[in-house]
Amino acid sequence: MPNRGMALTKCLQKSSVAPVADVGRMTANDVAARMGVSSRTVRRWAAEGRLPPDDKFPGPTGGYLFHPAVVELLARQLDKAAAS
């Protein structure tokens, strides 16, 4: 199974997505609300590389931050897969 996180990252590099400084990043709870899943699912996706985090708060229990464009790409992929 291909690494979806890497595919998303490559897609972002080729797109005209604004730099992180220009947009607000999303917490796991924000992503969970957008995707209709639990925050635990979002953290699992991050750990698996399916949804690569943009940053992480400091410390061993620091939460992940996600770039909204990456979240939208994954949402579209999941919507396509559900429609198929």
Q: Supply the pLDDT for residue 74.
A: 93
For the question of whether the overall pTM of this predicted structure is more than 0.75, the answer is no
- pLDDT (tens digit, 9 = 90+) per residue, 35-59? 999 999 999 999 999 999 999 888 8
Confidence of residue 61 (pLDDT cuts 50, 70, 90): confident
Question: Is 1 part of a structural domain of the chain?
Answer: no
What is the C-alpha to C-alpha distance for residues 27 and 64, in angstroms, rounded to an integer?
6
For residue 76, list its beta bridge partners. none
Chain centroid to CA 44: 11
Question: Is 14 part of a structural domain of the chain?
Answer: no
Question: Is 13 part of a structural domain of the chain?
Answer: no
User: 70: domain range?
Assistant: 20-83
Q: Please determine, for residue 21, whether its predicted confidence score (pLDDT) is greater than 50.
A: no
> What's the total number of domains in the chain?
1
**Which long-range CB contacts under 8 A does 19-25 form with residues at least 24 apart?**
20/54, 20/55, 20/67, 23/67, 23/68, 23/69, 24/68, 25/54, 25/55, 25/65, 25/66, 25/67, 25/68
Question: Is 6 part of a structural domain of the chain?
Answer: no
